[in-house]
Structure 1
Amino acid sequence: MIRPLRAEDLNQVVELWYCTSVLAHDFIPQEFWYSQKQAMHDIYLPNSNTWVYEQGDCILGFIAYYQGFIPALFVSPNAQSQGIGQQLLDSLKQLHNPLQLAVYAENQRAHQFYLKQGFQEIERRVCEHTQHDEIVMAWQASA
């Protein structure tokens, strides 16, 4: 079930984000992700519109939206390739159009996922926080 993030979900969602970030971005030192945990908990998630994918009492994924941008879409590693990311993205597409996001160029799996979901590359740049190349992608519903 997809539902809005609740305050009591924050710890579980931040832990999901952290563990998944470390695995998906092995080209970035783990210390960077650790250094961002408190900001995710206190700033980024509370100031975004965020929805979680919950199964039973377990949150398996989440998506965040902020001013036309998707700053986060993460699915637990043991729940990936089961359509959860696509369901979260599809639910957001029903609410917001157009959408943009940035994905690390080295994260080829995520890049390919977004291409399959109809996103197109619009820019390549260097991430100011990590100095790694990222790809800005955009999606817009067809008329």
Structure 2
Amino acid sequence: MIRKINEEDYPRLLEIWISAVENTHDFLKNEDFEFYKENVPTYFQYVNLVGYYTTDDILVGFAGVAEHNLEMLFIHNDYRGKGIGKELLNYTIENLEVSKVDVNEQNKQAVDFYLYLGFKVINRSEKDMEGKEYPILHLSR
């Protein structure tokens, strides 16, 4: 159910990203949501992408990894709470050697998810990588 993502899947990745962010990032200002929505597809080519596919071959979640860092993990809102995020995270740890992740401090569900699965906060940044006012927690295993 987890396999490498190809470039033709990028439009679906954006759909998943939109669904996930609209339902988990209530702290995000609308103009910042639009900024990230426009820019997130440019990051896809720089990460090793794997996707979670249902038994009927529908892509419903994905993870992106670069240099042992989990750069992105998003699950379509219709499929949240079914263990897909945990499966993708464990896959990236076991197969792509993920040992670090950065997470929006204001995304309490994500913070709790990573802490529950064994990550620990090692540092904090006041702003995100785009210089926006969203504090980032840096976690490690």
Tell me, yes or no, whether TM beats 0.5: yes
Q: How does 1:1-143 map to 2 (within 5 A)?
A: 1-41=1-41, 43-55=42-54, 56-97=56-97, 99-128=99-128, 129=130, 130-139=132-141
Q: Is the 8 A contact 2:65 2:98 kept in 1?
A: no
Q: Is the 8 A contact 1:53 1:62 kept in 2?
A: yes
Partner AA of 1:26 in structure 2? D
**Count of equivalent residues:** 138
Using structure 2 for the length normalisation, give the TM-score: 0.90
Q: Deviations over 1:2-27 (max 9, x none)?
A: 11011111001012112211321111
Mark the CA change 1:30 to 1:88 in structure 2 (over 3 Å): closer, same or farther.
same
Q: Deviations over 1:93-132 (max 9, x none)?
A: 1123352111111111111100111111101111243212
Residue 82 of structure 2 aligns to a residue whose secondary structure is coil
* Structure 2 portions without partners, runs of 5+: none
Using structure 1 for the length normalisation, give the TM-score: 0.88
Partner AA of 1:83 in structure 2? G
% identical aligned pairs: 25
- Distance, in Å, in 2 between the alignment partners of 1:104 and 1:15 is 20
